[in-house]
């Protein structure tokens, strides 16, 4: 046995799997820097990282760059050696120059592992097509939910499970900000610390106006339903313009504000609709339990019940761990599945969705908040009315705008001036119904 093969086997045995492949790192800020740190810590060296792209090599950073004189640090995207089947980890953010790097990598049959949700939401299908043609691979676990393994959960779920809905808190920054406001801190203080902790995007307006969460729910729809992310119609409202008023209102109503995203499978016409909006949730709801920059996703299926996953939704180390997970998959793939743990490469099922140009129903036209409840028809003896919800409804100024009786179930949409949309989701929601008294109040 040659010494190189022997060394590789020793490494494999030490790590419990095949060794990570050499890689090129585009971006060494919060996420890229944390990945560099984890590689150094795990291997005692950063030799695996063959080249690193940054804007300003002189900038002081928590994880120092390798010696700039060693030739591994570059500042122009064109200098980054991404062709020839390389593994490229991208943690730059934004569309340019990330898109060019992705195209070059994938066209050359390489693997592009990214934390960049806006890139994948906008250009994912093009990149996946490039990868399919060249034998390359696109992976983006880190792009949704930071360290929360939700892409993996959906990717590994057989179609036969039949995903019926995906809901989630998918933006760590806005959850952190809302939590801080609930705890009495001011908006500017909270925003400053979200940035200092590395949670916020380079342009934090993407976090607070819901664009970041909208990109992520599009990616989840792609993985779960095969709908190209650019074709998912998202109705979006963030926690702006007045998050402090939102929190005060929720507090007065006995609840907590959460920025929730959700997407349903494509309808009969092939249209996939998603929403991102601030919701008032009861204090004892699982959504209220998601604290700080954590995220949570709930996948309702027809055949596997409800699957939930939660974890750190932002932050350098947590996100870098997701990049490492994708790198681990790549190692297994390169080793031909040795170790018996190899999973199929990311199987994006692309279906053709209609009318890509009219796909971005962004923004929410309604001035008023929506309150939406689902339950069994009021008056049924089995209905359980939760006192907390009653209180919330009693104090809200509500108006019934839609009742949809569908196969014995009541879906009630209410508008209220005072409360954000109440999203009583899941098991809890199914057990709830409007008390007749409240329904009458609503109908006035
Ligand atoms: P960041 O701290 O701003 O780091 C960006 C890095 O990219 C920096 O090293 C920067 O160089 C480099 N860079 C940016 N534009 C460049 C250009 N044109 N040429 C060369 N280098 C360039 O951002 P981040 O927070 O790590 O986020 C990176 C990506 O991860 C984004 O897509 C973000 O959405 C995603 N993400 C972030 C988190 C999080 O918690 N932060 C979590 C999940 C996903 P300099 O260092 O010289 O400035
Ligand atoms: N800014 C993003 C967030 C980073 O706060 O969720 C993780 O994608």
Which residue ranges make up each domain of the chain? 3-139, 150-312, 367-441
Cβ 91 under 6 angstroms from ligand 1:
yes
Q: What is the pLDDT of residue 17?
A: 62
Pairing of strands 163-169, 87-90: unpaired
Distance 171 CA to ligand 2 centre (A): 5
| Residue 402: per-residue pLDDT | 38
CATH architecture of the domain covering 3-139: 3-Layer(aba) Sandwich (3.40)
Mutate to test the pocket of ligand 2, among 91, 117, 179, 200 (most ligand atoms within 8 A of CB): 200
Residue for token pair 């959700």: 262
Question: Which bound ligand lies closest to the C-alpha atom of 216?
Answer: 2
Question: From the alpha carbon of 143, which atom of ligand 2 is closest?
Answer: 8
- The residues lining ligand 2, judged by C-beta closer than 6 Å to any ligand atom, are 146, 171-173, 199-201, 207, 212, 313-314
d(CA 44, CA 204): 35
User: In the CATH hierarchy, which fold is given to the domain comprising 367-441?
Assistant: Alpha-Beta Plaits (3.30.70)
90 CA closest ligand 1 atom index? 29
The matching CATH number, chosen from 3.30.360.10, 3.40.50.300, 3.30.70.270, 3.40.50.970, for 150-312 is: 3.30.360.10
Residue to substitute in 28, 31, 35, 122 for testing ligand 1 pocket (most ligand atoms within 8 angstroms of CB): 31
Q: Which atom of ligand 1 is nearest to the CA of 198?
A: 41
Tokens linked to 306: 């409800």
Q: Please identify which of the residues 117, 133, 216, 376 carries the catalytic annotation.
A: 216
Q: How far apart are CA 231 and CA 359, in angstroms?
A: 5
Of 58, 33, 55, 27, nearest in space to 46 by CA? 33
Ligand nearest to the CA of 97: 1
Angle at 370 between CA 365 and CA 372, to 5 degrees: 135
Question: Is any ligand 1 atom within 6 A of the Cβ of residue 282?
Answer: no
Tell how far the Cα of 223 is from the centroid of ligand 2, in angstroms.
19
Smallest CA separation from ligand 1 atom 8, residue: 29
Angstrom CA distances, 305 to 165, 223, 263, stand at 11, 18, 17
Q: Angle 117-134/211-225 helices, nearest 10 degrees?
A: 30
Looking from the CA of residue 92, the nearest atom of ligand 1 is 7
Per-residue pLDDT of the chain (444 residues; tens, 9 = 90+): 455 545 545 555 454 567 889 999 999 999 999 999 999 998 889 999 999 999 999 999 999 999 877 889 999 999 999 999 999 999 999 999 999 999 999 999 999 999 999 999 999 999 999 999 999 999 999 999 999 999 999 998 888 888 999 999 999 999 999 999 999 999 999 999 999 999 999 999 999 999 999 999 999 999 999 999 999 999 999 999 889 988 988 887 778 899 999 999 998 888 899 999 988 888 888 899 999 999 999 999 988 889 999 999 999 999 999 999 999 889 888 887 543 333 333 333 323 222 223 222 222 222 222 333 333 333 434 433 333 343 344 444 443 333 344 433 334 444 444 433 333 332 222 223 333 333 322 322
The number of the ligand nearest the C-alpha atom of 171 reads 2
- Is residue 11 classed exposed, middle or buried when 0-12, 13-18 and 19+ CB atoms within 10 A define those classes? middle
Question: pLDDT, tens digit, for every residue of 244-256?
Answer: 988 988 887 778 8
Give helix 187-196 / helix 172-182 axis angle, nearest 10°.
140
Sign of CA dihedral 314, 316, 320, 321: negative
Ligand 2 atom nearest the C-alpha of 213 is 6
Half-sphere exposure of 410 (CA within 13 A, CB side): 20
Neighbours of 7 (CB within 10 A): 11
Q: Is-catalytic flag, 133? A: no
CA of 100 relative to ligand 1 center, distance in Å: 16
* Rounded Cα distance, 259 and 211, in Å: 12
pLDDT digit string (tens) for 299-355?
Answer: 999 888 899 999 999 999 999 999 999 998 898 888 875 433 333 333 333 232 222
Q: Which residue has the tokens 């959504």?
A: 287
Distance from Cα 328 to the centre of ligand 1, integer Å? 22
**Residue showing tokens 């939590």:** 179
Sheet holding 73-74, edge to edge: 73-74, 49-53, 23-26, 87-90, 111-114, 137-139
């Amino acid at each position: 046995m040659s010494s190189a093969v022997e060394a590789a086997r020793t490494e494999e045995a030490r790590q419990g799997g095949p060794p990570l492949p050499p890689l090129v790192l585009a971006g060494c800020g919060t996420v890229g820097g944390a990945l560099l740190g984890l590689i150094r810590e795990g291997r005692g060296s950063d030799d695996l990282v063959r080249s690193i792209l940054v804007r300003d090599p002189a900038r002081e950073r928590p994880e120092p760059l390798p010696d700039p004189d060693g030739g591994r640090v570059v500042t122009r995207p064109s200098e980054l050696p991404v062709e020839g089947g390389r593994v490229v980890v991208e943690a730059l953010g934004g569309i340019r120059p990330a898109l060019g790097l992705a195209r070059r990598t994938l066209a050359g049959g390489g693997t592009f592992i990214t934390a960049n949700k806006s890139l994948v939401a906008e250009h994912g299908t093009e990149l996946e097509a490039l990868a399919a043609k060249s034998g390359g691979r696109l992976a983006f676990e880190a792009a949704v939910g930071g360290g929360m393994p939700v892409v993996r959960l959906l990717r590994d779920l057989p179609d036969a499970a039949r995903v019926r809905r995906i809901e989630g808190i998918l933006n760590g920054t806005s959850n952190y900000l809302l939590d801080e406001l609930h705890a009495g801190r001011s908006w500017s203080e909270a925003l400053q610390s979200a940035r200092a902790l590395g949670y916020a995007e380079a342009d934090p307006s993407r976090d607070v106006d819901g664009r970041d969460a909208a990109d992520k729910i599009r990616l989840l729809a792609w993985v779960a339903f095969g709908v190209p992310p650019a074709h998912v119609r998202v109705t979006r409202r963030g926690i702006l313009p007045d998050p402090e008023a939102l929190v005060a209102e929720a507090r007065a109503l006995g609840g907590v504000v959460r920025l929730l995203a959700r997407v349903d499978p494509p309808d009969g016409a092939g249209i996939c609709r998603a929403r991102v909006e601030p919701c008032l949730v009861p204090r004892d709801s699982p959504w209220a339990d998601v604290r700080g920059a954590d995220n949570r996703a709930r996948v309702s299926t027809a055949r596997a019940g409800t699957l939930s996953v939660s974890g750190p939704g932002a932050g350098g180390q947590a996100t870098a761990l997701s990049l490492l997970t994708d790198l681990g998959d790549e190692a297994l793939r390169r080793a031909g599945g040795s170790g018996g743990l190899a999973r199929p490469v990311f199987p994006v099922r692309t279906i053709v969705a209609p009318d890509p140009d009219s796909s971005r129903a962004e923004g929410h036209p309604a001035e008023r908040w929506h309150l939406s409840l689902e339950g069994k028809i009021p008056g049924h003896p089995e209905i359980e009315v939760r006192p907390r919800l009653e209180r919330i409804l009693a104090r809200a100024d509500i108006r019934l705008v839609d009742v949809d009786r569908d196969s014995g179930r009541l879906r009630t949409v209410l508008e209220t001036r005072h409360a954000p949309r109440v999203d009583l989701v899941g098991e809890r929601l199914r057990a709830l119904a409007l008390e007749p008294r409240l329904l009458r109040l609503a109908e006035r």
